[in-house]
Amino acid sequence: MAVSETPLSQPVSQVITTISNSERSENMRVLVTGGAGFIGSHIVDELIIQGNTVSVVDDLSEGSLQNLNPDARLFNVSINDAPALEKAFAEAKPEIVSHHAAQISVRNSMYDPTNDAQVNIIGSLNVLQAAVKHDAERFMFASTSAVYAKPQRLPMNESHPMMPESVYGVSKLSVESFIRLYSNTYGIKHKIFRYGNVFGPRQNPHGEAGVVAIFTGQFLRGEQPTIFGDGTKTRDYVFVSDVVSASIAAMGDAGDNETYNIARGIGVSDYEMFDTVAAAADSSMHPKYAPVRPGEAEHVSLDPAKAREILLWRPRVSLPDGIAQVVEHYRRTH
């Protein structure tokens, strides 16, 4: 289901602030795992703009100090280091935990499933256990569309059958189950977000995930981008400011203990994505092709109606406008 979008004509932080100023959160103590990473750092920025006290748990293995808001308190620890994590929670005393630290590569999850499980399952359990022990009121979890089975209908809503095709998807779905168990057993409230393909400034252009960032970096470095498959594979892309506005909307009581798709509801082909990034980067380069990678679904689009109805959230940034900001950010920072 497509939803209306508005053009992006100002920086990410200004867009998010414009969206959320009318519903500003009260001052809360919030702990963001992965808060120096791509999505987490944008969430931290907005939480601080709104006057919250923010702590970040990040071992900087994927995140960067350049992304970290100077007004956030950094605990430079791994979510797999349970004693250090316990100490961070004891000092931060969070009322809300936003859990974004993860192994995010589908490809790497298939090559090294043990590491994926160690970070995404055991690490998440460490975070969840610490949240319960230190009386956090609400646990917010960044899950993924990779938890779903091969699409039986598009766009997929939250009740669509789940049978992940990657280790990454299995690990995220496992954590969803643990969160519901802990919520039922210990009373901690939760919200689970199943993201589409999030893109925006600060995404790693050299990583395994994030085709917009990867294509942008390759175009602007003069490298020929690769399309995996024949170009018809589709994904549901959502700009990072829209993800942040969903996170801010979820800090209140409305819609607790539910799972939400956070996406635009529109499937975009690799061909269309390639052409849109090429146009923004002023490139006439053609792609090269490689086999589809193990664990990757053929088509993905998500129905965001539930988030729209309960959280009063909707995506506002169009694909071309979001891509233009990614290209501008890469040129400015590289």
Look up 237 and say whether it is catalytic.
Answer: no
Give pLDDT, residue 11.
Answer: 47
Residue 157 covered by a domain: yes
Beta pairing partners, 317? 6
Count of CB atoms situated within 10 Å of the CB of 3: 17
Give pLDDT, residue 216.
Answer: 96
CB of 216 within 8 A of CB of 326? Answer: yes
Give pLDDT, residue 207.
Answer: 62
Tell me the CB-side half-sphere exposure of residue 331, using CA atoms within 13 A: 11
E strands, 137-207, are 138-144, 189-195, 197-199
In the chain, the largest separation of any two C-alpha atoms, in whole Å, equals 57
- Please state whether 222 falls in left (phi above 0), alpha (psi between -120 and 50) or beta: left
Range of the domain at 126: 12-197+239-264+303-317
Residue 100 covered by a domain: yes
Segments of the chain with pLDDT less than 50: 1-11, 13-25
Residue 326 covered by a domain: no
Residue 322 covered by a domain: no
Alpha-carbon distances of 217 from 126, 227, 327, rounded to whole Å = 35, 14, 8
**CATH code, 102:** 3.40.50.720
Residue 133 covered by a domain: yes
Alpha-carbon distances of 139 from 116, 136, 284, rounded to whole Å = 21, 7, 46
Residue 118 covered by a domain: yes
Residue 257 covered by a domain: yes
Q: Which helix (H) or strand (E) holds 29?
A: strand 29-33
Residue 106 covered by a domain: yes
Give pLDDT, residue 9.
Answer: 37
pTM of the model: 0.91
User: In terms of DSSP H, where are the helices of the chain?
Assistant: 12-20, 38-49, 82-92, 106-111, 113-117, 124-133, 167-186, 211-221, 240-249, 270-280, 305-310, 319-333
Q: Give the C-alpha separation, 255 to 192, whole Å.
A: 10
Report phi then psi at 315, rounded to 5: -70, 140
- Our count of domains for the chain comes to 1
Q: Give the C-alpha separation, 205 to 200, whole Å.
A: 11
Q: From the candidates 168, 237, 260, 330, which is the catalytic residue?
A: 168
Amino acid residing at 31? L
Give pLDDT, residue 334.
Answer: 87
Tell me the CB-side half-sphere exposure of residue 197, using CA atoms within 13 A: 26
